[in-house]
A = this chain, B = another copy of it.
Amino acid sequence: MNDAGHSNVMRPEDTPELRQLYADFEAEHLKPLWTQIDDLMPVVPNPKAVPHIWKWSKLFPLAERSGDLVPVGRGGERRAIGLANPGLGGKAYISPTLWAAIQYLGPRETAPEHRHAQNAFRFVVEGEGVWTVVNGDPVRMSRGDLLLTPGWHFHGHHNDTDKPMAWIDGLDIPFSYQNDVGFFEFGSDRVTDYATPRFSRGERLWAHPGLRPLSELKDTVSSPLGAYRWEFTDRALTEQLLLEDEGQPATVEQGHAAVRYVNPTTGGDVMPTIRAEFHRLRAGASTPPRREVGSSVFQVFEGKGSVLLNRTETKLDKGDLFVVPSWVAWSLQAETQFDLFRFSDAPVMERLGFARTQVEEAAR
């Protein structure tokens, strides 16, 4: 933080009196600011979390092996394997605020019901056959779907087929843990409803564009729509690119279509701490480097391309996940049509007044 031109008058000479003062601070549970300010108050965010990429080709086989070795059930609750940011000292945090995991459920298995203050979602990059039961409402999980479990909603999962299924979980566990906001309660050891309807009750009430049931006029903190189906996401992105072809404003920037998943009662984010988006790049398109306050996680849904994180470019394949810590410049390059799911802690940053974005001139 120190400019060359600034003297640092507050590094006093190391005298016995100063040592005694510092020892007396310690005894009274005190720490001076002047010795730590460079670390505590950096010029720009200086995250301990690092950019990192996890390959789906490694994740999925490990999840499969845990399916063989670790039974799912009460106590451990979920066969979920957290992505641990290499910069965060071995905790299962993908960023200081976010948790991302691959969860695996074998044929006919059930993950028992519970609820917690932490907000959660699932996103399905491949497979089908599992239903998640949220406050008693069975929700089908299929490729491309985003499924919500907002804070304090009971939920369990069951696999209705003879094949295993894996997906990713996103939660605000690190944020909740760090800030001591977590509550947890066990529910039924089995799911409360083993029905396997094509559409959940939440969808049947809420998944009608521009319409709101008159029986549900109170706005809710989190979205009452528990499932965002791939069919709609795909169609919305397709239309944006078609509109762009017709010369109409519709995309974020040339060749880059994107949607945000929203709470239909407010038009805002699906949950108070987590934003979810889906991005599609045309083959050959790229995005300018962006720095944002807060962290996000991307998963490649389909296609081939690469990501530039700070100055390092990495090839990406279907299912690969990567994390962008706060203020790390990121940009995407699409080799084929390139589809990515994204989630982030942006609602935290916006609601607390910390959001900033910097879009740079293209780096190459």
Q: How many angstroms from the CA of A78 to the CA of B37 in the assembled complex? A: 9
A28, B65: Cα distance in complex, Å: 14
Given A25-B62, A49-B180, A74-B6: A239 touches B80 (CB 8 Å cut-off): no
Which stretch (A154-162, A230-238, A301-309, A311-319) binds chain B? A230-238
Residues of B within 8 Å of A294, CB to CB, are: 179-181
A182-B41 CB under 8 A given contacts A21-B66, A351-B352 = yes
A 60-76 to B, binary, CB cutoff 8 A, 1 in contact else 0: 00100110011111111
Q: Are A183 and B356 in contact (CB under 8 A)?
A: yes
Taking CB atoms, residues of chain B closer than 8 Å to A261 are 210-211
Return the contact of A267 from the options B176, B265, B270 (Cβ within 8 A): B265
10 A-B pairs with the lowest CB-CB distances in the bound complex, closest first: A10-B76, A34-B76, A8-B75, A9-B73, A180-B326, A31-B92, A214-B258, A272-B353, A181-B354, A208-B236
> 28 A-B pairs, CB-CB below 8 angstroms?
A7-B73, A9-B71, A12-B71, A17-B69, A18-B69, A25-B81, A29-B86, A30-B62, A31-B90, A31-B91, A32-B80, A32-B92, A34-B80, A36-B92, A37-B77, A41-B173, A44-B182, A46-B182, A96-B178, A179-B326, A180-B325, A183-B356, A210-B223, A210-B261, A211-B259, A211-B261, A213-B250, A217-B260
